[in-house]
Structure 1
Amino acid sequence: MNARERILAKLRGSLEGTTPIADDYDTALVTTPWTYAPAQRVARLRAQLEAVHGETQLTTSAEWPARVFAALAERNIDELLVSPLTLHGQQLAAQLALNKGGLRLKAYDRAVETWKDELFFHTPASLTGTLGGIAATGSLIVWPTVQEPRLMSLVPPLHIALLKASAVFDNLHEAMHTQRWSEGLPTNALLISGPSKTADIQQTLAYGAHGPKELIVLILQDA
């Protein structure tokens, strides 16, 4: 009898006189996507995000620029990275002109190599849109584009994201099928489930180590 056979014999012998435990594991926990009543989706997403230090606000398509200005003023931020080629970027710029505010808007309109230092060390906040949200995990779906490159949502310490309430799905499976992701995926799709955080060093939770320290999600209830 070789070593392998001896080990197997001991294992078989250790089971003598024992009674197998019935396997009553509910496979639906991992095979059936989580679902929620339509009226509960936004509330579920907000609860999940806020549980991990994210901030959410309910607003409307007309009122959200004022929420952005207020959030920046509270933090003494006078610069915002936003794409002038998006509808929300144009709406924000128009509202800023009406208010005659002192906020400076800047665009990601050049190769990152030409302004890496400014982007990483002198850009305190950014505003981006989202493709949707996932109620089950409290996640935002962000698809990088030419107008809104990936680093816009990953580098500035404060990330403000616009989310349409009608685009909050129960789970990732539903989002992928409803929005027909298979017909054209981007280079990468981001699932953002709160501000960046880590506990690698001495098991102490720290925010902002690998991305934004703060995340504010403005949920447009009429969109």
Structure 2
Amino acid sequence: MSARDAILKRLRERADGPLSAPESDFSVVTGRGWSQEECLARFERWITSVHGEVVHAGHDDWTRALAEVLVGKGVRRLALGREHPVAAEAREALADGDVELVDVDRDIEGWQREQFERVDAGLTSTRGAIAETGSLWLWPTPDEPRLISLVPPLHIAVLDADALEETFFDVVERHGWANGMPTNALLISGPSKTADIEQTLAYGVHGPRELVVIVRHDQAPAREGA
């Protein structure tokens, strides 16, 4: 019997019965009672407060907003997947444009230098967002590996407006993280930043210098001046 098994055996055979999980009150980390509009407003306020950018678009024309972001940021080479609907729609919309679409479904050792030196931006989908902290949450896949959101100087993330939860606890509970999750989950709350050097806040030291979130709505929001 291993030491681990011996310890577990002693715990199971306790004189006063087996151990049980204590009663826990999770009300402090959930139940904010915000409407969907309040969640979106809080998310946008928090993520823009740390230099994130938010662009609103409709489900039917979000790729036009993407194209405008690419032009505005001077992106020439965009890394993205193929299988996810976000990547597939982006590829179709940008196929005849001037932006070179970079495949990411390759062994990292084969294009590591290219990714670090020649890719201007990475495009990813998101699983949702957290209103309380202004955070996106992503589950990387082989089609959308985590490096395309962590390495290029610009990360463009596509978020559905109705995929916002109030708190991180709500995300974990509602989406069954306890029953299965990937080997890596990403919580992104703005561009990369650090204050390790002389306590001066700097952006883009360990990852993207810029983060743009394209929020997709069921109906396209009214444009200013319209």
Return the TM-score normalized by structure 2.
0.81
Q: How far apart are residue 175 of structure 1 and its match?
A: 1.1
Q: Which residue of 2 aligns with 1:39?
A: 37
Q: Is the Cα contact below 8 Å between 2:76 and 2:99 reproduced in 1?
A: yes
Unmatched 5+ stretches in structure 2: 1-24, 220-226
In the alignment, the residues of structure 1 paired with residue 29 and residue 60 of structure 2 have an alpha-carbon distance, to the nearest angstrom, of 38
Rg larger for: 1
In the alignment, the residues of structure 2 paired with residue 29 and residue 86 of structure 1 have an alpha-carbon distance, to the nearest angstrom, of 35
Q: How far apart are residue 75 of structure 1 and its match?
A: 2.1
Q: Which residue of 2 aligns with 1:107?
A: 103
In the alignment, the residues of structure 2 paired with residue 137 and residue 109 of structure 1 have an alpha-carbon distance, to the nearest angstrom, of 31
Residue 112 to residue 56, structure 1, CA distance change in 2 (3 Å) = same
Q: Is the Cα contact below 8 Å between 2:157 and 2:211 reproduced in 1?
A: yes
SS at match of 1:39: helix
Q: Which residue of 1 aligns with 2:218?
A: 222
The Cα offsets for residues 119-161 of structure 1, whole Å up to 9 and x where unpaired, read as: 1111110100001000000000011111111111100000000
Q: Which residue of 1 aligns with 2:184?
A: 188
Q: How far apart are residue 183 of structure 1 and its match?
A: 2.2
Unmatched 5+ stretches in structure 1: 1-27
Would you say how many aligned residue pairs link Structure 1 and Structure 2? 194
Residue 120 to residue 30, structure 1, CA distance change in 2 (3 Å) = farther
SS at match of 2:213: strand
Q: Which residue of 2 aligns with 1:61?
A: 59
Q: Is the Cα contact below 8 Å between 2:105 and 2:142 reproduced in 1?
A: no
Q: Is the Cα contact below 8 Å between 1:128 and 1:152 reproduced in 2?
A: yes
Structure 1 residue 52 corresponds to structure 2 residue 67: no
In the alignment, the residues of structure 2 paired with residue 221 and residue 176 of structure 1 have an alpha-carbon distance, to the nearest angstrom, of 24
Q: Is the Cα contact below 8 Å between 1:34 and 1:136 reproduced in 2?
A: no
In the alignment, the residues of structure 2 paired with residue 29 and residue 200 of structure 1 have an alpha-carbon distance, to the nearest angstrom, of 34
Match of 1:152 among 145, 148, 154: 148
Return the TM-score normalized by structure 1.
0.82
Q: Which residue of 2 aligns with 1:3?
A: none
SS at match of 1:92: helix
The Cα offsets for residues 97-119 of structure 1, whole Å up to 9 and x where unpaired, read as: 3xx31111111121111111001
Q: How far apart are residue 53 of structure 1 and its match?
A: 0.5
Structure 1 residue 88 corresponds to structure 2 residue 61: no
Structure 1 residue 206 corresponds to structure 2 residue 167: no
